[in-house]
Amino acid sequence: MLLTAVLATVNRVFYKVALVPLGDYVFFLAQFTTFGYVFVYWSAFLFNRSRGAISDGQLSFAGRRWQTFAWIGALEAGSVLLGMLSAKSLPGEILPVLSKLFLVFQMAFSKMLLKRRYSQSQLSGCALCVLGVVASAGSSLRLRSFDASPAVLFILSLALPALASVLKEKLFADARATLSEELNVFVVNTLGSSCQAVCVLLLLPVLAELQGVGDIREYLEEGASAFLSAPIWPCFYLAVNLFFNVSVLILLRTTSAVSVSLAMALAVPITALVFASWDDVGPFKAQFSTPTPDMSAMLKLGGGLLLTIGMMLSGVSWNPINGKMAGFAGIVAMGYIAYHLFQLDGIFVPRLLYVYAFVVFLGALHICAFPSNPMPKKTKETKNNHGNFSDVIALSLIAVALSWYFYPQHLYQDLGPLKAQFRNESADLSTLRGFVAQRSQR
């Protein structure tokens, strides 16, 4: 569940970043995602089939349940249509409030279709959620004229994907009971997405009209041009979104649709913290004062480095030897960051950068002092990690980090064919540059 929540957060962040080069072509990205994923999922499906991960029994089961896959695709496509019809007529502040009903629908459909029983505390929590939605919606709309029809449509748009998620859970449960094996997630992803793509294709003229798109062909050509002009961040988003979708189905197969909703809900406050660089969030004061193009570029680089460090902390088998150097560097670097922040304010002011540094500090402390894996036995085949290409990369990053510390002026100067990276120095940029340099040394 935690991995899904993390991927949901990263997915939301990269989605926001991907929209920057696309500008007004958000609708293009949505359609590119819908139809492009069909190709990717079918490729993964055929690969798993060739490896034997998808058995004849699973194919036979999917063929018998083709109507369920068709319903899943139709429900998800219908949700998109109803969401577009209703959201534009509702106040923006009411949308996230009504969205909380998604969990209520999931619990109701789980009880009806899966005969799942919920405890008194779970039902009480569901009731509190409904009461909170009613109270919040009433207070938001009391002072304005309000047509209930869009709200009903929006609520219905939440019920459709909730039912689709429960149908997917039922597919996994039925396959487990009849086949005595787990249904491969790419069977569900591929067939469900294919049915959704067919329904979206049929609804495309209506969806385009709702989005204010004129000539669809011209719009798609312009959207493709915008995508290709800066493809890196949209492609990053697509890759993360694919991993996220697969992780959601894996979590759904092993737990329940309600657990998936809780993981998604957990991502909401985390994402708010990620985007809170220029805003106060509860007790945390804004980290930076003014957004600039230079700051935006540095934030993306810093976020990418945090993601890389997180994957390294999770993916490497840290033992009492290989974690010492990286862990020690992380402890020293995050300590320096905390000291630098304290110096800037003169007193302790709660800021999110302290939180980020503390999280990295905990990871560094763990691999340095409390590694999870024992030392591997040394044999003739065992090789150390020195004297190879990774050392060249490590030394290069250390050199770059030191240059950022002791000679940051080079980032503001043209160097031969290389243009200056930044335009103007500022206290915010200096702080962020130091944070990125410390992580580069890790």
> How far, in Å, CA of 74 to CA of 327, rounded?
50
| CA quadruple 301, 4, 189, 152: dihedral, nearest 10 | -100
Are both 327 and 244 inside the same structural domain? no
Q: What is the 3-state secondary structure (H, E, C) of 150-207?
A: HHHHHHHHHHHHHHHHHHHHHHHHHHHHHHCCCCCHHHHHHHHHHHHHHHHHHHHHHH
For residue range 355-403, list pLDDT tens digits in order.
Answer: 777 878 888 888 888 777 777 676 666 565 555 666 777 777 778 777 7
Residue 280: pLDDT band (50, 70, 90) is: low
- With beta carbons less than 8 A apart as the criterion, state whether 236 and 303 touch: no
Give the mean pLDDT of 186-191.
Answer: 92
Radius of gyration for the chain, computed over Cα atoms and rounded to the nearest angstrom: 25
Q: Are residues 360 and 245 in the same domain?
A: no
246 pLDDT above the threshold of 60: yes
Residue 2 pLDDT grade (very low, low, confident, very high; cuts 50, 70, 90): low
- Domain span including residue 82: 13-253
pLDDT score for 43: 93
CA distance 98 to 133: 6
Q: What residue has token string 């250390």? A: 398
Angle between helices 185-210 and 148-179 (to 10 degrees): 160
Res. 143 pLDDT band, cuts 50 70 90: very low
Nearest residue to 196 (alpha-carbon basis) of 38, 425, 8, 431 = 38
- pLDDT, position 250: 82
Place of tokens 């809780």: 262
Q: Which of 186, 221, 253 is the last residue of a domain?
A: 253
- pLDDT grade for 46, boundaries at 50, 70 and 90: very high
Q: CA 336 to CA 433: how far, in whole Å?
A: 13
Q: How far apart are CA 429 and CA 288, in angstroms?
A: 9
Asked if residue 304 and residue 246 are part of one domain, the reply reads: no
Q: For residue 35, list its beta bridge partners.
A: none
* Percent of the chain predicted with pLDDT > 70: 68
Distance between start and end Cα atoms, the chain: 28
Residue 63's pLDDT band (boundaries 50, 70, 90)? very high
Same domain? 338 vs 401:
yes
Same domain, 186 and 334: no
How many domains would you assign to the chain? 2
Mean pLDDT along residues 29-43: 88
Statement to judge: residues 352 and 417 lie in one domain = yes
Q: Does residue 343 share a domain with residue 433? A: yes
Measured distance CA(368)–CA(310) in Å, rounded: 15
Residue 381 lies in a domain: no
Q: Say if residues 169 and 256 touch (Cβ distance below 8 Å).
A: yes
